[in-house]
Structure 1
Amino acid sequence: MATTDTLPVQRLFAGLAICYTSPDAETGIVLDELLTVAEEINDDFRSTAKKLMDSFSSIALEDLRVDHARLFVGPFSLLAHPFGSVYLEEGNLLMGESTVAVQELYREAGLDMSGDFRNPPDHIMAELEFYAYLLNRERDAQDKNDSDSTRRFNAIRRRFFADHLGQWGEEFASKVISNATTPFYTELGKLTKMTLEKESNLEG
């Protein structure tokens, strides 16, 4: 992947991260961007992104927010836990060793959690956004012919995907697909799963 144009995939991961926030009127702008990016990848991505955008336009925001809360927020049991530790830790613990490990990777890459972000470091939004960040840093280093930085960010990205996002993201996406009550979140789960499967095939 280091020798290919990673910009479309970077934009795809960044857009997906935003889609896991509670939906609002600005979500449509993100979906337009996702569709543009998906068209650059292949027809399957384009078709799923188009269904995602169309479903957003046809469902009331309040219904989307209710489904978002059911899946990811609560107050009752979550139908698609958005935290990596739930999938990676014995006993489905929150804030376990894997959470600490992922935060250490953020710091290794020169980042720390924003004070405005009120979720654990292994929330799906944070991990998708971090992967997009790593792709950006790796590509930027390549453009500058900085081989040391290219290797560094490539190594962090591969380790992060192998040990964290790639380990639990597809199972999470499957739970979104099977538990969503709106077509929007069904299609979001599908697009997320397709994206992670594509990266998994490239990393493997």
Structure 2
Amino acid sequence: MSTAQTQSPELQISDRLARAYRFRILGTCFAYPGLGDGARIHQALEAAVCPQTLAALPSGSAVLEAWAAVDDETLRAEYTRLFMGRTPCSLHAATYAGSTQLAGPGPLLADISGFYQAFGLDTSDEDAERPDHLAVQLGFYGILLVKEAYAISEGWGGHAEVTHKAVARFLTDHLGGWQGVLLPRLREQNAASPYPETAAWLDEGLADECARLGVDPTPFKRPLEDPLQADEFICPHGAGGSARVPAEQPVHFEHREGAQH
């Protein structure tokens, strides 16, 4: 029996919520930055005072300092250069994992979407990212941890166990594969802060999760061109329409009644 399983319910809840906060912040860091997002992310990081969330991981302080120094214009320009369109730093899992499947990325996207729907998070056309986007996956992982914490708080042992197993499986089958993927590619591209520091924090967070849950995810393969990324289109967020992004199947989380907790 793991240490986490022998903790009091209060400590288990605190643990899940601290980890959820970490991954929700990481998801925001890897989403397209809107005006003022740099400052908001820095404020969120400053609020991460729990050692389990920020200070316990070596790169936590570097991430906090990196996000304190960014300005909106530089942040959006660097995000566009590094992550949008045809890039070696793609934030879409299909670029890495989907290319190894004979059937293409379709089964991968369907499996990820199945996780979202099983926990009451339907996809719609109201957001700009595909289900396999790193920011979406990080946000969902945080939601799973919150759901697990809620089930523990309500004394719903069965729901807590189901959610715990889903956390481990999603980490094994999907999110855990991102470990070690972005940081070397960002360094090759001479990426500016805060993205290398955030990628290092991501790697540490994923390693910590894998150790906690005792899982060994299959690492992503060498990236191939994402078959779902068509020729570039004008980004609706870009100033003056100058930023360019690929066509995507969007995802937006919406709660459904009767979903698992």
Same fold (TM over 0.5): yes
- Bigger Rg, structure 1 or 2: 2
Cα contact 2:145–2:167 (8 A) shared by 1: yes
Query: Which residue of structure 2 aligns with residue 141 of structure 1?
Result: 151
Is 1:67 aligned to residue 91 of structure 2?
Answer: no
Is 1:156 aligned to residue 166 of structure 2?
Answer: yes
Query: Which residue of structure 1 aligns with residue 97 of structure 2?
Result: 88
Is 1:29 aligned to residue 40 of structure 2?
Answer: yes
Alignment RMSD, CA only?
2.4
Code of the residue aligned with 2:22 in structure 1: it is: L
Q: Which deviates further from its counterpart, 125-134 or 78-87?
A: 78-87
* Secondary structure, counterpart of 1:170 in structure 2: coil
Is 1:6 aligned to residue 21 of structure 2?
Answer: no
Q: Which deviates further from its counterpart, 26-35 or 60-69?
A: 26-35
Q: Quote the Cα distance in structure 2 between the aligned partners of 1:172 and 1:96.
A: 23
Shift of 1:165: 0.5
Code of the residue aligned with 2:151 in structure 1: it is: A
Unmatched segments (≥5 aa) in structure 2: 215-261
Higher helix share: 1
Q: Which deviates further from its counterpart, 4-13 or 94-103?
A: 94-103
* TM-score normalised per structure 2: 0.69
Code of the residue aligned with 1:85 in structure 2: it is: A
Shift of 1:60: 3.4
Cα contact 2:18–2:50 (8 A) shared by 1: no
Shift of 1:19: 1.0
Shift of 1:54: 2.6
Q: Quote the Cα distance in structure 2 between the aligned partners of 1:84 and 1:194.
A: 19
* Secondary structure, counterpart of 1:67 in structure 2: helix
From 104, 118, 124, give the equivalent of 1:108: 118
- Alpha carbons of 1:114 and 1:70: their partners in 2 closer, same or farther (altered >3 Å)? same
Shift of 1:178: 4.3
Cα contact 1:13–1:129 (8 A) shared by 2: yes
Code of the residue aligned with 2:130 in structure 1: it is: P
Q: Quote the Cα distance in structure 1 between the aligned partners of 2:97 and 2:105.
A: 11
Cα contact 1:99–1:121 (8 A) shared by 2: yes
Shift of 1:160: 0.7
CA deviations over 1:4-24 (Å, ceiling 9, x no partner): 322111100001101112333
Q: Quote the Cα distance in structure 2 between the aligned partners of 1:112 and 1:180.
A: 37
- Alpha carbons of 1:37 and 1:191: their partners in 2 closer, same or farther (altered >3 Å)? same
Q: Quote the Cα distance in structure 2 between the aligned partners of 1:102 and 1:149.
A: 20
Shift of 1:153: 0.8
Cα contact 1:72–1:80 (8 A) shared by 2: yes
Q: Which deviates further from its counterpart, 1-10 or 158-167?
A: 1-10
* TM-score normalised per structure 1: 0.86
- Alpha carbons of 1:114 and 1:155: their partners in 2 closer, same or farther (altered >3 Å)? same
What's the % identity of the aligned pairs?
21
Code of the residue aligned with 1:99 in structure 2: it is: L
- Alpha carbons of 1:128 and 1:174: their partners in 2 closer, same or farther (altered >3 Å)? farther
Q: Quote the Cα distance in structure 2 between the aligned partners of 1:39 and 1:71.
A: 31
